Structure 1
């Protein structure tokens, strides 16, 4: 095999194999960089605050989709209103509700522990004490203050003061009671406590910023409330208390409407009751004065025919009175929201629908004012909507009043015509019939008002919360930081640092490290590779020796034979650019490998400056090659 055949049959190295061969010698550096980067990732992970998710699921009741109970209340016409999911989400995230939560849970003063790596928020059972404001409606910001606790002396040292347990501490004009946690582990050491005092409004705003409320599905009234927080127990209590306060205020609002309605009906009952008593006394006086004991059959026939007309006329009078009350309410409120107390007495469904719309519009206006400013676009649109509905109500009341007046005129005419039939009835009986008719009218009105009073009381007693809690506050996580991401990033940074180190080292390295460097930059064939070992023995190959270096010299010997080394071409020159690169070691062991095949080999030391072969082999180097070159010595 000649040299050209040797090159043509040289296999091409796979790129993956090249990468492995390039970086494998530096594996200790890779292990070192990986360990350092993973350690840094672990320390950084320890310094990060774990974030959990606290969630709760609630169902917003919709009267239009309710069961039997809600249908009964709808039939009673009692302050039921359709809930709009988007509006209720705004209410749940309103500042007023969250401020009540902050006050109830005393969240305006937060206790922390300053650790060596991170700051830990302490809450309830994990906190040594709680700072409870005596006047929760006027809590001022007090900043950050470190404190320590002497459990033996039962005092808390804060702001250069020693305050006894359950004592009073004044912070920026706000008195706080120091409520000690009796279940706290008093043996804990190394704690560095501090407390941050905030206003109720700022605390509520920070919680609202992290609160997320969204429907669980499209067109669903089921809502999911979520808070991302480092203290899941605190967030769970916030969600639970928020739902309770929402329901409580909703029930109070409904009860206020019922209270106003009941008060109006009771006032009317008292007035009608006085009128009924007056009519009863008139009947007794009339009977006693005129000596009447019974009415004739003709009077009874009249009474039966006229009673229905009078009953209808009484109902018209009530409706006219209600319309007057409604009109006075609309014109006297001047844009201020309120409750129409006579809503239960309205019979016209169109007017009733407009009043219900007015309720809803005023409620939306209140919500808009609670969330936005008085001059915001939402508030202005809501006020315009209220004014428009009030105008529609006034127009409807005028139309209904005209209809009622026309009907009452007709009834009066009918009654007048029927009265002509009674000319033959004795005047005494006629007077008694008139008084009895008035009494029955008043009794009918009284019974009607009593019925509405009982219906209103029943609806008030059966008032239920608008929010049903499907799942109370629960938590899961942590959702961040995720340890595997940090460790993966640390490993990648270590790998990147390792690759950069190898690249920089090779950039500034003036030594040939790999076979590929020779093959890529020159056309010189690589016949063999000899590894470098820490062994100081200059003789690497002997008869029967099977070390890696010995086998590599045998491979070198074989490859030289393929390249054309023979009895004719039998001279080999071993050289290099500088000293110390292994010329003597290669020449000596290559000569020894050839002698092991039975060949006679002449090893000539051509290094004129620093000859080493004679010293390594223990032979006399005089005369040397220089002596032959200057003819001071001969071969003989």
Structure 2
């Protein structure tokens, strides 16, 4: 049998049992659907609010030249970084504080408290500790009187009256002017900022649904849609605010550096200009000669290039000092726009991003956090790279300066003929021009940096404002009710299935056919009658029809002059005597002369059931040579064609009695006297008597009893059948409970089929029993 066929057989086997207990499924389904409905009534629906935010990592419009002056403006952060930043505790803490979301209001409902977003009053914390202890308070209003309950303590307060709560701080209750206060009770739940921020972070989802565009999908789940909308709006607002603040901090750092350099260069420029003034006054020079002016003009390009180099060297020297000062480690570095080196500028931008990230993480982490340690290592590495790059640039600039100085010497050699006074004046003018160029450059950068700060904008833009769907995402009513219905059906099914699996006894035809290939020749139902013989002439009961069916089936087993039928089973109590007597009586009422032999010499039962004397029987005939065969054959009393040979006195050695050579002669004589011989043998699973008697039989009926015979005992039947140790072995399933439906449909022979059998019991049955009968007929 294939696996699919076995599964189908198993289902068809379980189906009658499931239909028999149909009312279990109905009751269980009603109970669990009702429980699901109550669960939904007590659950708070959760709504999902969504928004879309565009993250712009590039340069924007006409401000692109100015944005090159800002540290963060010039830096294009990864979209994944922005997703992490939006879900940080640092941002959500600002949202909670701004919205005072750690204070939740409830109104008592019929089934559960109902959360309110804008109650008719405000619970305001005036002064609180650094860490607020969570608490739940009950506030009742009656006119202008306010009762405040905290635990087992109650006090009477007034509007706007400050009072202290342990763990919360100084609080007061304010009246909301736009809403009337009804005489009702409310509850206020106060939690810590940390707990509420963590809860909001868990309710927030940030996703990049399309990798081709920098659009982030934000979603927030909460019971109140307006609350979710406000949280998302405030989150995006704080994100933009932090983003702009980071840019402004770098701009401020750049301006401070430029101011410091301007003060120093301005001092040097003033000193040179003073020297020129004193030089002119000391020598009474009103104007330089045409030759001097020509030399100054010719040396203009040289002076301009030299001043540019001197400017870069001055700035790089200052930056080198900044890098070497340990006190300024892990602080924002001045903008990269002061230098012409793009590689060094890129290092500065990366360094500032890491420093800002470290400062954000330190708000919620300690110095020993592995992530902070990793950031520190990145900062140290970037400072080393910056120092290496700076030293290389300084070296290159010193080489350029040396070359310019050589060029200056060549120019100076051309003006040897110029008088010494004019030559000295030329030197002072050249120094003045260099200092002036540096001062003008720094002034220009200060103005540009100041303008760029005013042009700083956030890199985010809301392209789809928060909105809430009309259907709650949790709990899903249809899903919960369906789960309740499924569990209601699965529970009784599981109980019936497990009960069947754990059952070690035969409970149906499939239990037999799955374990043996021996044919089933008959199925006998449970007898409600107290009579041992339930088959009589004119009987139309279901069990009588089943014995008639067994008689018919035997006619196909027995061929020619075969007439001896041996009845055995696995153990005592399976109904051998009952089946033997009723089968014999069924054959007798058909006009056949039938003999029932009580050959269970260990525990005889036929004589007792028929109230016959067992003083003279099979044992006497075998042992005593003088006893005639006719003397041990008795009328059964149930039918004129049915006779019985009792066991006689119980012998001490039943097996040896059966092995006696007179047994063969006895059976040969009986074959000539009767049309059918029914042998009631001992159980084959306990003793060998039945197998010894099987050589005299033409067919063997092996009984199994529903709810009594163990499943593993069927292996005995299979072994006997396969080894052909008994002739024409067939199975008879006894004591089938047809009314319960546990055995299955279609196995009963009768139930009034065509015979008009009716005992009036149906009229007394309840409505559920009648409905069960109708279901069985489907």
TM-score (normalizing by structure 2): 0.58
Determine the structure 1 residue equivalent to 2:43: 48
Which residue of the other structure, out of 128, 135, 138, is the alignment partner of 2:130?
138
Q: What SS does the aligned partner of 1:134 have? A: strand
Q: CA deviation at 1:459?
A: 0.8
Which residue of the other structure, out of 741, 750, 759, is the alignment partner of 1:524?
750
Q: What SS does the aligned partner of 1:53 have? A: strand
CA distance in 2, matches of 1:430, 1:448: 27
Identify if the C-alpha distance between structure 1 residues 522 and 274 changes in structure 2 by more than 3 Å, giving closer, same or farther. closer
Tell me whether 507-516 or 351-360 shows the greater mean CA deviation. Answer: 507-516
Identify if the C-alpha distance between structure 1 residues 46 and 448 changes in structure 2 by more than 3 Å, giving closer, same or farther. same
Identify if the C-alpha distance between structure 1 residues 455 and 509 changes in structure 2 by more than 3 Å, giving closer, same or farther. farther
Determine the structure 1 residue equivalent to 2:581: none
Structure with the bigger RCO (C-alpha within 8 Å, sep 6+) is 1
Identify if the C-alpha distance between structure 1 residues 130 and 362 changes in structure 2 by more than 3 Å, giving closer, same or farther. same
Structure 2 residue 433 is matched with structure 1 residue 440: yes
Which residue of the other structure, out of 140, 157, 163, is the alignment partner of 1:148?
140
2:148–2:156 contact (8 Å) kept in structure 1: yes
Identify if the C-alpha distance between structure 1 residues 118 and 317 changes in structure 2 by more than 3 Å, giving closer, same or farther. same
CA distance in 1, matches of 2:267, 2:740: 118
Structure 2 residue 329 is matched with structure 1 residue 336: yes
Tell me whether 284-293 or 294-303 shows the greater mean CA deviation. Answer: 284-293
Identify if the C-alpha distance between structure 1 residues 87 and 306 changes in structure 2 by more than 3 Å, giving closer, same or farther. same
CA distance in 2, matches of 1:407, 1:98: 53
Identify if the C-alpha distance between structure 1 residues 253 and 520 changes in structure 2 by more than 3 Å, giving closer, same or farther. closer
Structure 2 matches for 1:159-308, cutoff 5 A? 159=150, 160-173=154-167, 174-184=169-179, 186-187=181-182, 189=184, 191=185, 193-218=186-211, 220-308=213-301
CA deviations 1:353-378 (Å, max 9, x no partner) are: 22222223323433444455423332
1:23–1:502 contact (8 Å) kept in structure 2: no
1:106–1:132 contact (8 Å) kept in structure 2: no
CA distance in 2, matches of 1:378, 1:480: 35
Q: CA deviation at 1:265?
A: 1.8
Q: What SS does the aligned partner of 1:88 have? A: helix
Which residue of the other structure, out of 372, 383, 403, is the alignment partner of 2:376?
383
Which residue of the other structure, out of 72, 76, 95, is the alignment partner of 2:89?
95
Q: CA deviation at 1:203?
A: 1.5
Structure 2 matches for 1:411-490, cutoff 5 A? 411-476=404-469, 477-490=471-484
Determine the structure 2 residue equivalent to 1:609: none
CA distance in 2, matches of 1:55, 1:581: 64
CA distance in 2, matches of 1:458, 1:122: 47
Determine the structure 2 residue equivalent to 1:586: none
CA distance in 2, matches of 1:304, 1:277: 23
CA distance in 1, matches of 2:267, 2:21: 112
CA deviations 1:176-229 (Å, max 9, x no partner) are: 23233334453475x4x2222222112211211222222122364321222222
Identify if the C-alpha distance between structure 1 residues 136 and 339 changes in structure 2 by more than 3 Å, giving closer, same or farther. same
Q: CA deviation at 1:52?
A: 1.1
Determine the structure 2 residue equivalent to 1:157: 148
1:311–1:441 contact (8 Å) kept in structure 2: yes
2:254–2:334 contact (8 Å) kept in structure 1: yes
Q: CA deviation at 1:261?
A: 1.4
Identify if the C-alpha distance between structure 1 residues 136 and 306 changes in structure 2 by more than 3 Å, giving closer, same or farther. farther
1:47–1:118 contact (8 Å) kept in structure 2: yes
1:101–1:242 contact (8 Å) kept in structure 2: yes
CA deviations 1:149-196 (Å, max 9, x no partner) are: 22x12434333122211222322251123233334453475x4x2222
Q: CA deviation at 1:59?
A: 1.8
Which structure 1 segments of 5+ residues have no match? 1-14, 530-555, 557-573, 583-636
CA distance in 2, matches of 1:78, 1:521: 90
CA deviations 1:560-618 (Å, max 9, x no partner) are: xxxxxxxxxxxxxx785xx8789xxxxxxxxxxxxxxxxxxxxxxxxxxxxxxxxxxxx
Q: CA deviation at 1:110?
A: 1.8
1:91–1:367 contact (8 Å) kept in structure 2: no
What is the count of residue pairs matched by the alignment?
513
Structure 2 residue 98 is matched with structure 1 residue 104: yes
CA distance in 1, matches of 2:304, 2:227: 64
CA distance in 2, matches of 1:501, 1:295: 117
Identify if the C-alpha distance between structure 1 residues 182 and 154 changes in structure 2 by more than 3 Å, giving closer, same or farther. farther
Determine the structure 2 residue equivalent to 1:591: none
CA distance in 2, matches of 1:424, 1:498: 120
Q: CA deviation at 1:141?
A: 0.6
CA deviations 1:370-402 (Å, max 9, x no partner) are: 455423332222222221221122122222222
Identify if the C-alpha distance between structure 1 residues 509 and 194 changes in structure 2 by more than 3 Å, giving closer, same or farther. farther
CA distance in 2, matches of 1:364, 1:90: 11
CA distance in 2, matches of 1:223, 1:145: 39
Determine the structure 1 residue equivalent to 2:552: none
